[in-house]
Amino acid sequence: MTIKFSKENLWTTELNDAPEVQAGFDRTRPVRFYDTTLRDGEQSVGVSFSTEDKFQIACKLAELGIGRIESGFPRVSEDDTKAVRRILDAKLSSEIWGFARAMIADVDAHIELGTEYLLIEITTSDRKMKAFGFTREKVVQRAVDAIKHAKDAGIKKVNFFAVDSTRSDLAYLQDVYMAAIEHGAEEVSVVDTIGVCAPEVVERLIRQVKGWVGPNIPVHWHGHNDFGLATAAAIAAVRGGASWIQGTINGMGERAGNADICEVALALSALYHMPVELDLTKAREISKLVQKAGKYTVDGWKPVVGDFLFTRESGGVVSQFHIPEAIEPYSHEIVGAERKIVLGKKSGLVSIEMKGKELGLNIPEDKRGAVLAVVKDIGTKEARLVSDAEFKGIVQRLC
Protein backbone atom coordinates (compact mmCIF):
# COMPACT_ATOMS: atom_id res chain seq x y z
CA MET A 1 0.00 0.00 0.00
CA THR A 2 1.45 3.35 -1.08
CA ILE A 3 0.78 6.16 1.40
CA LYS A 4 -1.38 8.90 -0.09
CA PHE A 5 -0.76 12.41 1.21
CA SER A 6 -2.68 15.58 0.47
CA LYS A 7 -3.17 19.02 2.00
CA GLU A 8 -5.91 17.43 4.09
CA ASN A 9 -3.59 15.10 6.00
CA LEU A 10 -0.04 16.45 5.65
CA TRP A 11 1.02 19.81 7.08
CA THR A 12 4.77 20.17 6.59
CA THR A 13 6.38 23.09 4.73
CA GLU A 14 6.80 24.21 1.14
CA LEU A 15 10.50 24.63 1.90
CA ASN A 16 10.80 20.86 1.42
CA ASP A 17 9.84 21.30 -2.23
CA ALA A 18 13.06 23.10 -3.11
CA PRO A 19 14.68 21.45 -6.15
CA GLU A 20 17.89 20.69 -4.29
CA VAL A 21 15.89 18.80 -1.66
CA GLN A 22 13.77 16.76 -4.04
CA ALA A 23 16.34 16.07 -6.76
CA GLY A 24 18.04 12.71 -7.22
CA PHE A 25 15.21 10.34 -6.26
CA ASP A 26 13.87 7.75 -8.69
CA ARG A 27 10.11 8.00 -8.19
CA THR A 28 9.26 5.56 -10.99
CA ARG A 29 9.41 2.66 -8.53
CA PRO A 30 8.48 2.32 -4.87
CA VAL A 31 11.01 1.84 -2.10
CA ARG A 32 10.67 -1.64 -0.67
CA PHE A 33 11.61 -2.93 2.76
CA TYR A 34 13.49 -5.99 3.96
CA ASP A 35 12.71 -6.63 7.62
CA THR A 36 15.25 -8.23 9.91
CA THR A 37 13.42 -7.90 13.24
CA LEU A 38 13.41 -11.67 13.76
CA ARG A 39 17.18 -11.93 13.42
CA ASP A 40 19.07 -8.63 13.77
CA GLY A 41 16.29 -7.17 15.91
CA GLU A 42 16.46 -10.09 18.29
CA GLN A 43 20.14 -9.29 18.80
CA SER A 44 18.97 -6.47 21.09
CA VAL A 45 20.39 -7.23 24.51
CA GLY A 46 18.00 -9.28 26.64
CA VAL A 47 15.48 -9.98 23.87
CA SER A 48 14.49 -13.56 23.07
CA PHE A 49 11.49 -14.25 20.85
CA SER A 50 9.69 -17.56 21.16
CA THR A 51 8.70 -19.62 18.13
CA GLU A 52 5.13 -18.36 18.49
CA ASP A 53 6.34 -14.77 18.84
CA LYS A 54 8.31 -15.03 15.62
CA PHE A 55 5.39 -16.53 13.73
CA GLN A 56 2.95 -13.86 14.92
CA ILE A 57 5.42 -11.08 14.13
CA ALA A 58 6.01 -12.48 10.65
CA CYS A 59 2.27 -12.55 9.97
CA LYS A 60 1.92 -8.91 11.05
CA LEU A 61 4.95 -7.91 8.97
CA ALA A 62 3.23 -9.34 5.91
CA GLU A 63 0.07 -7.37 6.74
CA LEU A 64 2.21 -4.24 7.10
CA GLY A 65 3.29 -4.68 3.49
CA ILE A 66 6.90 -5.69 4.09
CA GLY A 67 8.33 -7.02 0.83
CA ARG A 68 10.79 -9.40 2.43
CA ILE A 69 10.95 -10.94 5.88
CA GLU A 70 14.17 -12.44 7.19
CA SER A 71 12.93 -15.55 8.95
CA GLY A 72 15.93 -16.08 11.17
CA PHE A 73 19.05 -18.13 11.70
CA PRO A 74 18.08 -21.78 12.23
CA ARG A 75 21.46 -22.88 13.57
CA VAL A 76 21.00 -20.72 16.69
CA SER A 77 18.62 -23.20 18.32
CA GLU A 78 15.94 -25.79 17.73
CA ASP A 79 13.30 -23.14 18.48
CA ASP A 80 14.75 -20.92 15.74
CA THR A 81 14.61 -23.86 13.35
CA LYS A 82 10.96 -24.42 14.22
CA ALA A 83 10.19 -20.74 13.75
CA VAL A 84 11.76 -20.64 10.28
CA ARG A 85 9.87 -23.78 9.27
CA ARG A 86 6.55 -22.43 10.53
CA ILE A 87 7.00 -19.10 8.78
CA LEU A 88 7.86 -20.83 5.51
CA ASP A 89 4.85 -23.13 5.82
CA ALA A 90 2.50 -20.16 6.31
CA LYS A 91 2.92 -19.04 2.66
CA LEU A 92 2.77 -15.37 3.59
CA SER A 93 2.47 -12.65 0.96
CA SER A 94 6.01 -11.44 1.70
CA GLU A 95 9.08 -13.21 0.37
CA ILE A 96 10.73 -15.19 3.16
CA TRP A 97 14.51 -14.89 3.26
CA GLY A 98 16.96 -16.89 5.30
CA PHE A 99 20.12 -15.66 6.97
CA ALA A 100 23.38 -17.58 6.77
CA ARG A 101 27.01 -16.94 7.45
CA ALA A 102 29.33 -17.87 4.58
CA MET A 103 29.47 -21.42 5.88
CA ILE A 104 28.22 -24.52 4.11
CA ALA A 105 26.50 -25.79 7.28
CA ASP A 106 24.52 -22.55 7.60
CA VAL A 107 23.41 -22.77 3.99
CA ASP A 108 22.48 -26.44 4.37
CA ALA A 109 20.30 -25.65 7.38
CA HIS A 110 18.12 -23.46 5.15
CA ILE A 111 18.17 -25.86 2.22
CA GLU A 112 16.83 -28.61 4.50
CA LEU A 113 13.97 -26.33 5.59
CA GLY A 114 13.01 -25.36 2.06
CA THR A 115 14.19 -21.73 2.15
CA GLU A 116 14.18 -20.32 -1.39
CA TYR A 117 15.90 -16.97 -0.84
CA LEU A 118 19.10 -16.56 1.13
CA LEU A 119 21.20 -13.70 2.49
CA ILE A 120 24.80 -14.82 2.96
CA GLU A 121 27.15 -12.71 5.07
CA ILE A 122 30.83 -12.39 5.73
CA THR A 123 32.93 -9.44 6.83
CA THR A 124 34.93 -7.41 4.32
CA SER A 125 36.68 -4.96 6.67
CA ASP A 126 40.24 -5.53 7.82
CA ARG A 127 39.26 -4.71 11.42
CA LYS A 128 36.70 -7.47 11.58
CA MET A 129 38.84 -9.91 9.60
CA LYS A 130 41.51 -9.47 12.27
CA ALA A 131 38.93 -10.19 14.99
CA PHE A 132 37.83 -13.40 13.24
CA GLY A 133 41.31 -14.47 12.18
CA PHE A 134 40.43 -14.21 8.47
CA THR A 135 42.58 -13.15 5.55
CA ARG A 136 41.24 -11.29 2.53
CA GLU A 137 41.77 -14.39 0.43
CA LYS A 138 39.89 -16.56 2.92
CA VAL A 139 36.92 -14.16 2.92
CA VAL A 140 36.60 -14.26 -0.86
CA GLN A 141 36.90 -18.03 -0.93
CA ARG A 142 34.33 -18.59 1.80
CA ALA A 143 31.88 -16.18 0.18
CA VAL A 144 32.27 -17.80 -3.24
CA ASP A 145 31.99 -21.35 -1.86
CA ALA A 146 28.82 -20.57 0.13
CA ILE A 147 27.15 -18.77 -2.78
CA LYS A 148 28.01 -21.52 -5.27
CA HIS A 149 26.75 -24.15 -2.85
CA ALA A 150 23.47 -22.31 -2.37
CA LYS A 151 22.89 -21.83 -6.08
CA ASP A 152 23.85 -25.43 -6.90
CA ALA A 153 21.31 -26.59 -4.31
CA GLY A 154 18.51 -24.62 -5.94
CA ILE A 155 18.32 -21.43 -3.90
CA LYS A 156 16.43 -19.02 -6.17
CA LYS A 157 18.16 -15.81 -5.11
CA VAL A 158 21.23 -14.99 -3.06
CA ASN A 159 21.96 -11.58 -1.53
CA PHE A 160 25.62 -11.11 -0.65
CA PHE A 161 25.83 -9.15 2.60
CA ALA A 162 29.25 -7.54 3.08
CA VAL A 163 29.53 -7.01 6.84
CA ASP A 164 31.17 -3.70 7.76
CA SER A 165 31.16 -2.56 4.12
CA THR A 166 31.49 1.07 5.16
CA ARG A 167 34.83 0.48 6.91
CA SER A 168 36.23 -1.74 4.16
CA ASP A 169 38.94 -0.92 1.67
CA LEU A 170 36.83 0.08 -1.32
CA ALA A 171 39.00 -1.59 -3.95
CA TYR A 172 38.80 -4.85 -2.00
CA LEU A 173 35.06 -4.40 -1.38
CA GLN A 174 34.54 -4.06 -5.12
CA ASP A 175 36.53 -7.25 -5.73
CA VAL A 176 34.44 -9.21 -3.23
CA TYR A 177 31.13 -7.95 -4.63
CA MET A 178 32.17 -8.83 -8.16
CA ALA A 179 33.35 -12.29 -7.11
CA ALA A 180 30.04 -12.88 -5.34
CA ILE A 181 28.06 -11.82 -8.41
CA GLU A 182 30.26 -13.86 -10.74
CA HIS A 183 29.49 -16.99 -8.72
CA GLY A 184 25.74 -16.51 -8.50
CA ALA A 185 24.72 -13.70 -6.15
CA GLU A 186 21.83 -11.75 -7.69
CA GLU A 187 21.84 -8.90 -5.15
CA VAL A 188 24.27 -7.16 -2.79
CA SER A 189 23.94 -5.35 0.51
CA VAL A 190 25.95 -2.33 1.56
CA VAL A 191 26.24 -2.67 5.32
CA ASP A 192 27.03 0.02 7.89
CA THR A 193 27.48 -2.51 10.68
CA ILE A 194 28.83 -0.04 13.23
CA GLY A 195 26.59 2.87 12.16
CA VAL A 196 29.46 5.19 11.31
CA CYS A 197 28.51 6.65 7.91
CA ALA A 198 27.36 10.22 7.46
CA PRO A 199 24.29 10.37 5.18
CA GLU A 200 26.24 12.23 2.48
CA VAL A 201 28.75 9.38 2.38
CA VAL A 202 25.97 6.81 2.19
CA GLU A 203 24.52 8.39 -0.93
CA ARG A 204 27.91 8.54 -2.61
CA LEU A 205 28.81 4.96 -1.63
CA ILE A 206 25.53 3.55 -2.91
CA ARG A 207 26.07 5.30 -6.25
CA GLN A 208 29.60 3.92 -6.36
CA VAL A 209 28.50 0.35 -5.64
CA LYS A 210 25.74 0.60 -8.24
CA GLY A 211 28.37 1.70 -10.72
CA TRP A 212 30.41 -1.42 -9.91
CA VAL A 213 27.63 -3.98 -10.06
CA GLY A 214 25.57 -2.51 -12.91
CA PRO A 215 21.88 -1.68 -13.32
CA ASN A 216 20.57 -5.23 -13.07
CA ILE A 217 21.85 -5.99 -9.57
CA PRO A 218 19.61 -4.62 -6.81
CA VAL A 219 21.52 -2.87 -4.04
CA HIS A 220 20.32 -2.97 -0.42
CA TRP A 221 21.20 -0.58 2.40
CA HIS A 222 21.58 -1.85 5.97
CA GLY A 223 22.34 0.80 8.58
CA HIS A 224 22.56 1.23 12.35
CA ASN A 225 21.66 4.15 14.58
CA ASP A 226 24.78 4.73 16.69
CA PHE A 227 24.88 8.44 15.84
CA GLY A 228 21.11 8.89 15.59
CA LEU A 229 21.28 9.03 11.79
CA ALA A 230 19.81 5.69 10.71
CA THR A 231 16.71 7.24 9.13
CA ALA A 232 18.70 10.01 7.45
CA ALA A 233 21.20 7.46 6.14
CA ALA A 234 18.42 5.28 4.72
CA ILE A 235 16.95 8.29 2.91
CA ALA A 236 20.39 9.08 1.51
CA ALA A 237 20.71 5.48 0.35
CA VAL A 238 17.44 5.75 -1.55
CA ARG A 239 18.61 8.98 -3.18
CA GLY A 240 21.78 7.12 -4.14
CA GLY A 241 19.74 4.42 -5.83
CA ALA A 242 19.21 1.66 -3.25
CA SER A 243 16.27 -0.57 -4.20
CA TRP A 244 15.75 -2.02 -0.73
CA ILE A 245 16.09 -0.64 2.78
CA GLN A 246 16.77 -3.16 5.52
CA GLY A 247 15.64 -2.43 9.05
CA THR A 248 13.50 -3.48 11.97
CA ILE A 249 10.30 -2.71 13.82
CA ASN A 250 10.89 -0.06 16.51
CA GLY A 251 14.48 0.25 15.27
CA MET A 252 15.55 -2.55 17.60
CA GLY A 253 18.89 -4.27 17.09
CA GLU A 254 22.52 -4.48 18.12
CA ARG A 255 23.85 -1.53 20.22
CA ALA A 256 21.79 1.56 19.23
CA GLY A 257 19.61 -0.49 16.91
CA ASN A 258 18.85 -0.56 13.21
CA ALA A 259 16.95 1.81 10.97
CA ASP A 260 13.29 1.87 11.96
CA ILE A 261 11.43 0.77 8.85
CA CYS A 262 8.25 2.69 9.64
CA GLU A 263 10.12 5.92 10.37
CA VAL A 264 12.01 5.61 7.10
CA ALA A 265 8.78 4.97 5.19
CA LEU A 266 7.03 7.99 6.72
CA ALA A 267 9.95 10.35 6.07
CA LEU A 268 10.46 9.18 2.49
CA SER A 269 6.81 9.48 1.57
CA ALA A 270 5.88 12.63 3.50
CA LEU A 271 9.00 14.73 3.04
CA TYR A 272 10.47 13.44 -0.23
CA HIS A 273 7.33 12.31 -2.07
CA MET A 274 8.78 8.85 -2.65
CA PRO A 275 6.36 5.97 -3.20
CA VAL A 276 6.86 3.26 -0.59
CA GLU A 277 5.40 -0.19 -0.10
CA LEU A 278 4.08 -0.07 3.45
CA ASP A 279 0.75 0.40 5.23
CA LEU A 280 1.55 2.75 8.10
CA THR A 281 -1.94 2.42 9.56
CA LYS A 282 -0.73 -0.96 10.83
CA ALA A 283 2.57 0.32 12.24
CA ARG A 284 1.38 0.83 15.80
CA GLU A 285 -0.23 -2.61 15.99
CA ILE A 286 2.95 -4.45 15.06
CA SER A 287 5.05 -2.12 17.20
CA LYS A 288 3.07 -3.13 20.27
CA LEU A 289 3.24 -6.82 19.34
CA VAL A 290 7.03 -6.65 19.05
CA GLN A 291 7.34 -4.70 22.30
CA LYS A 292 5.25 -7.30 24.12
CA ALA A 293 7.21 -10.20 22.64
CA GLY A 294 10.52 -8.51 23.44
CA LYS A 295 9.40 -7.45 26.92
CA TYR A 296 10.29 -3.79 26.48
CA THR A 297 8.52 -0.50 25.81
CA VAL A 298 9.38 2.38 23.49
CA ASP A 299 9.25 6.03 24.51
CA GLY A 300 5.86 7.70 24.28
CA TRP A 301 7.40 10.35 22.02
CA LYS A 302 8.93 7.87 19.54
CA PRO A 303 8.10 8.84 15.93
CA VAL A 304 5.25 6.98 14.21
CA VAL A 305 4.36 4.61 17.07
CA GLY A 306 4.78 6.57 20.34
CA ASP A 307 1.70 6.66 22.57
CA PHE A 308 1.90 10.42 23.08
CA LEU A 309 2.34 11.66 19.50
CA PHE A 310 -1.28 12.78 19.29
CA THR A 311 -1.91 13.21 23.02
CA ARG A 312 -1.98 16.74 24.44
CA GLU A 313 -1.47 17.83 28.05
CA SER A 314 -0.19 21.41 27.83
CA GLY A 315 -3.00 23.93 28.07
CA GLY A 316 -1.43 26.18 25.47
CA VAL A 317 -1.39 23.34 22.97
CA VAL A 318 -4.84 22.06 23.94
CA SER A 319 -6.22 25.49 23.06
CA GLN A 320 -5.26 24.71 19.45
CA PHE A 321 -6.57 21.13 19.49
CA HIS A 322 -9.49 21.99 17.20
CA ILE A 323 -7.06 22.76 14.37
CA PRO A 324 -4.82 19.67 14.06
CA GLU A 325 -2.48 21.24 11.51
CA ALA A 326 -1.58 23.94 14.05
CA ILE A 327 0.03 21.41 16.39
CA GLU A 328 0.79 18.29 14.34
CA PRO A 329 2.78 17.64 11.12
CA TYR A 330 0.43 14.99 9.74
CA SER A 331 -2.97 13.47 10.46
CA HIS A 332 -3.25 10.82 13.15
CA GLU A 333 -5.10 8.69 10.60
CA ILE A 334 -1.88 8.17 8.62
CA VAL A 335 -0.51 5.98 11.40
CA GLY A 336 -3.80 4.70 12.79
CA ALA A 337 -3.51 6.69 16.03
CA GLU A 338 -6.08 8.35 18.31
CA ARG A 339 -6.09 12.05 19.16
CA LYS A 340 -6.85 12.85 22.79
CA ILE A 341 -6.46 15.29 25.66
CA VAL A 342 -5.07 14.26 29.04
CA LEU A 343 -4.93 16.15 32.33
CA GLY A 344 -1.92 16.88 34.52
CA LYS A 345 0.50 19.49 35.79
CA LYS A 346 0.59 21.38 32.50
CA SER A 347 -3.18 21.57 31.92
CA GLY A 348 -5.03 24.87 31.55
CA LEU A 349 -8.60 26.09 31.86
CA VAL A 350 -9.31 25.13 28.27
CA SER A 351 -8.23 21.58 29.14
CA ILE A 352 -10.84 21.41 31.89
CA GLU A 353 -13.51 22.73 29.57
CA MET A 354 -12.70 20.32 26.73
CA LYS A 355 -12.27 17.26 28.95
CA GLY A 356 -15.58 18.07 30.62
CA LYS A 357 -17.35 18.20 27.25
CA GLU A 358 -15.66 14.95 26.18
CA LEU A 359 -16.95 13.18 29.31
CA GLY A 360 -20.37 14.82 29.28
CA LEU A 361 -19.76 16.77 32.50
CA ASN A 362 -21.31 20.13 33.26
CA ILE A 363 -18.54 22.29 34.75
CA PRO A 364 -19.68 25.87 35.41
CA GLU A 365 -17.17 28.45 34.23
CA ASP A 366 -16.71 29.82 37.74
CA LYS A 367 -15.74 26.34 39.03
CA ARG A 368 -13.15 25.50 36.38
CA GLY A 369 -10.35 27.27 38.18
CA ALA A 370 -10.89 25.21 41.34
CA VAL A 371 -11.05 21.98 39.35
CA LEU A 372 -7.85 22.93 37.51
CA ALA A 373 -6.08 23.65 40.79
CA VAL A 374 -6.79 20.13 42.05
CA VAL A 375 -5.71 18.57 38.75
CA LYS A 376 -2.46 20.53 38.73
CA ASP A 377 -1.80 19.70 42.39
CA ILE A 378 -2.10 15.95 41.73
CA GLY A 379 -0.02 16.22 38.59
CA THR A 380 2.72 18.16 40.38
CA LYS A 381 2.91 16.33 43.70
CA GLU A 382 2.44 12.82 42.31
CA ALA A 383 4.20 13.41 38.96
CA ARG A 384 1.50 11.70 36.93
CA LEU A 385 -1.59 12.25 34.84
CA VAL A 386 -5.11 12.42 36.26
CA SER A 387 -7.36 9.65 34.96
CA ASP A 388 -10.82 10.31 33.56
CA ALA A 389 -12.36 8.50 36.54
CA GLU A 390 -10.44 10.73 38.99
CA PHE A 391 -11.45 13.80 37.05
CA LYS A 392 -15.10 12.86 37.27
CA GLY A 393 -14.71 12.49 41.04
CA ILE A 394 -13.06 15.91 41.33
CA VAL A 395 -15.87 17.53 39.33
CA GLN A 396 -18.54 15.84 41.44
CA ARG A 397 -16.92 17.11 44.65
CA LEU A 398 -16.41 20.69 43.51
CA CYS A 399 -19.40 21.23 41.27
DSSP string, 296-312: ----TT-TTT-TTTTEE
Predicted confidence (pLDDT) at residue 326 exceeds the cutoff of 90: yes
Predicted confidence (pLDDT) at residue 5 exceeds the cutoff of 90: no
Residues 131 and 187 in one domain: yes
Average pLDDT (262-285) is: 97
Give the residue from 246, 269, 294 where a domain finishes: 294
Rounded to whole angstroms, how far apart are CA atoms 115 and 94? 13
Whichever domain contains 111, its CATH number is 3.20.20.70
Residues 251 and 367 in one domain: no
Residues 218 and 107 in one domain: yes
Residues 199 and 276 in one domain: yes
Predicted confidence (pLDDT) at residue 42 exceeds the cutoff of 90: yes
Average pLDDT (108-126) is: 97
Residues 84 and 206 in one domain: yes
Residues 103 and 189 in one domain: yes
Query: Which residue segment(s) compose the domain that 359 sits in?
Result: 311-398
Per-residue pLDDT band at 1 (split at 50, 70, 90): low
By the 8 A CB rule, do 144 and 180 touch? yes
Asked if residue 3 is part of any domain, the answer here is no
Asked if residue 210 is part of any domain, the answer here is yes
Give the residue from 294, 320, 342 where a domain finishes: 294
Asked if residue 327 is part of any domain, the answer here is yes
Number of domains in the chain: 2
Residues 362 and 237 in one domain: no
Residues 222 and 344 in one domain: no
* Burial 192-231, CB ≥16 within 10 A → b, else e: bbbbbbebeebbebbbebbebbeeebbbbbbbbbbeebbb
Asked if residue 301 is part of any domain, the answer here is no
Over the stretch 232-264, which tens digit does the pLDDT of each residue have?
999 999 999 999 999 999 999 999 999 999 999
Closest among 137, 135, 113 to 126, alpha carbons compared: 135
Residues 257 and 347 in one domain: no
Asked if residue 79 is part of any domain, the answer here is yes
Strand 157-163 versus strand 117-123 pairing type: parallel
Asked if residue 303 is part of any domain, the answer here is no
User: Residue 2 has what pLDDT?
Assistant: 63
Residues 222 and 172 in one domain: yes
Residues 287 and 386 in one domain: no
What phi and psi, each to the nearest 5 degrees, are found at residue 188? -135, 150
Residues 256 and 319 in one domain: no
Give the residue from 294, 322, 345 where a domain finishes: 294
User: Residue 3 has what pLDDT?
Assistant: 73
Rounded to whole angstroms, how far apart are CA atoms 46 and 295? 9
Asked if residue 188 is part of any domain, the answer here is yes
Closest among 25, 58, 34 to 293, alpha carbons compared: 58
Average pLDDT (53-64) is: 98
pTM of the predicted model as reported, rounded to 2 decimal places: 0.95
Asked if residue 302 is part of any domain, the answer here is no
